[in-house]
Amino acid sequence: MEFVPQANQASNITDKETFLDILNSKGAEIILGETKSEDLVSSIHPSPTTMFGPRGACLFSEDGPLWVCDTGHHRLLGWKHRPKEDGQAADWIIGQPDFYHEGQNAKSHVQANTLNVPTGICSCGEGLVVADAWNHRVLIWNKMPSKNNTNADIVLGQNDFNQNQANQESSTTAANKMHWPYGVMYFQDRLFVADTGNRRVLVWNKLPTENGQPADYVLGQLSMNLRDENGGEDPNSSSLRWPHALTIWNNNLVVTDAGNNRIMIWDGIPTTSNIPCNLVLGQKNFRDTELNQSNYFPSSSTLSMPYGVAIMNEWLISADTANSRLLGWKDRPTMGQAAQGLNGQSDFKIKNENRFYGNSNRNSLSWPYGITVCKDTAVISDSGNNRVLLWRS
C-alpha cells in the first residue's frame, strides 16, 4: 500500500512511505460497545451493550468465550460465544450487581468478585487471570467463569480478598505486594504480572495456588523491595518505568515500557531477576526515553506510550496508544528498527485520533490500549472510542 500525505495534515510531511496492512484493510469485522460513527461527549451509561474506556479483552478460542475489561465501569463483560454482530449484548457480568450499575467495587467493600479499574486479562489453562489495577491485586479464576459474579479463587498482591491498599499500606514493596498492576500473561505455566506502579515485572514459576503467594523473581529492579522508576538510575537495558503488557515472540519475552516509550525484547525468557533485555523498539538506544524521539509527529521508528502488544502469525504488533495506531514488525528486528506494518492511520507520520480527528469507523482508532490475538483475530481495546474491535488478519 502506498499513501501520499495531504499537505494540510502536517507541514513537515513531504515524502511518501510504503507499508503493509497488518490487519484486514476493510477494518474490524465486529464492533462491540460504541457502534455509532460520531464524536462522544456524553457519559456512557452501563448496559449489556456499552463500554467505557475498555483496556483489556481476550477471545479464548475461535468460538469463544470472549471476556472484556470494561475498565471505566469497573466490571468484566463476558460473551459465551464469539460475537457475530455489531453491538451484541454480553451474556455475563462480574463486578456489578447487574448490567445497569457501575462504581468502584460496586460502590461497596472490596470482595472476591468486585473490581476497581480492571485492565489486563488472559487465560491460564482452563481459567482466567485479571489485573485489578486500582485494587492493587491480580485475581485468578481456576475455571473460566460461566455465570454472573463468580468469585475469584486466588488473589495476588493482597493477603485476602477484602484488602486493597497499594503495597499493603506500606511505603516499600515486596514479592507479595503490588501497586497498580496493569498487565498479565500466562505462558508455559509461568505467570507474568506488569506491576506498573512498582516499575517492575513479577514472575511466578508456577501458577500460584495460595492467596498472597510471593513472586519468584523480578525484572526491572535489583531486588523485590525496590520500586524506583528505571531502578533509580538512568534508563538502561534492564530498567522499567511503566511496564504494561507482555507477550512471547518466538520464545523471546516482549514487554511494553510505556513510560519510556519503548518496547523491550529479551533473548529468550529470563529465569532470574533483573536480566537486561537485548534490544528496544521505539528508541535508538537504551538511554533515550522521549515520546516519538522528541518529535511532535511520529515515524515508523517511534512510539508514544505503547500500552499493548501481541503476536499474530509472523507479526509483532504494538498498540501505539498515544499515536492512535497499530505498528507491526516482521521477523526479529534489530535495535530501533522501523516498523513495516501499520493500521489505524494512513501514514506513519500521522497520529490523529480516528485518522483525521473525524468520526470513528471500522478501520480507525482512538487511543487503542490493549491488543490480544486468537488465531487470525486481533481483539483490540479501542479505549478512546469506548469499544472493542474483532479485526481479522
pLDDT, tens digit (0-9, with 9 covering 90-100), for 15-27:
457 899 999 999 9
- Residue 364 confidence (pLDDT) above 50: yes
Q: What band does 1 get if pLDDT is binned at 50, 70 and 90?
A: very low
What is the per-residue pLDDT for 37?
59
Assign 109 to helix, strand or coil.
coil
- Is the distance from CB of 300 to CB of 338 less than 8 angstroms? yes
Cα-atom radius of gyration of the chain, to the nearest Å? 20
Residue 210: CB atoms within 10 A of its CB come to 9
Give the integer Cα–Cα distance in Å for 18 and 100: 46
- DSSP class of residue 171 equals S
Q: Which stretches of the chain are DSSP H helices?
A: 354-357
**Cβ burial, residue 130 (10 Å; 0-12/13-18/19+):** buried
- Per-residue pLDDT reduced to its tens digit, 119-155: 999 999 999 999 999 999 999 999 999 999 999 999 9
Listed as own residue / partner, the contacts of 23-26 with beta carbons closer than 8 Å and 24 or more positions apart are 23/326, 23/343, 23/378, 23/391, 23/392, 23/393, 24/391, 24/392, 24/393, 25/1, 25/363, 26/362, 26/363
Residue of 153, 131, 158 whose CA lies nearest to 143: 153
Bridge partners, residue 373, by sequence: 378
- Is the distance from CB of 106 to CB of 135 less than 8 angstroms? no
- Per-residue pLDDT reduced to its tens digit, 61-113: 999 999 999 999 999 999 999 999 999 999 999 999 999 999 999 999 999 99
Amino acid identity for residue 313 in this structure: N
Min mean pLDDT across 32-46, 165-179, 361-375 is at 32-46
Q: Taking residues 227-234, what's their average pLDDT?
A: 97
φ, ψ of residue 342 to 5 degrees: the values are -155, 140
Domain extents in the chain = 22-392
Q: Which three cell numbers mark 98?
A: 447487574
For CA atoms 196, 348, 332, 279, the dihedral sign is negative
What is the per-residue pLDDT for 367?
97
Q: What band does 8 get if pLDDT is binned at 50, 70 and 90?
A: very low
Q: Which three cell numbers mark 247?
A: 507477550
**Fold entry, domain 22-392:** Neuraminidase (2.120.10)
- DSSP class of residue 100 equals T
